[in-house]
Structure 1
């Protein structure tokens, strides 16, 4: 269950980044920002669950 939540958050961050990049005209920058946000949220989720 928690892995599916992390995957959904990762995909949502990536889609938001690509959408913002499409509207500002730089899809590559938006997708890299979305990918970065997704990876950061994944790392925070794993750190939080490690200390339970």
Structure 2
């Protein structure tokens, strides 16, 4: 039988404080990347539909 190891709860001292500028930059980059992926998916869907109608 497996025994569970007791784990202490996380505290505020366990959390790393991140620079606000770096956090904002990371969120902006992730948002722009996500927007580009959705744009790419939309263009692919439109082109696939258009080519499907042509051929």
Q: Into which bin does the TM-score normalised by the smaller protein fall?
A: 0.5 to 0.7
With a CA cutoff of 8 Å and minimum separation of 6, indicate the structure with the bigger relative contact order. Answer: 1
Which structure is larger by alpha-carbon Rg, 1 or 2?
A: 2
Give the TM-score taking structure 2 as reference length.
Answer: 0.50
> Which structure 1 segments of 5+ residues have no match?
1-22
Shift of 1:24: 1.8
Indicate which of 21, 29, 34 corresponds to 2:27. 34
Query: Separation in 1 of the partners of 2:17 and 2:41?
Result: 34
Give the TM-score taking structure 1 as reference length.
Answer: 0.53
* Aligned length in residues: 30
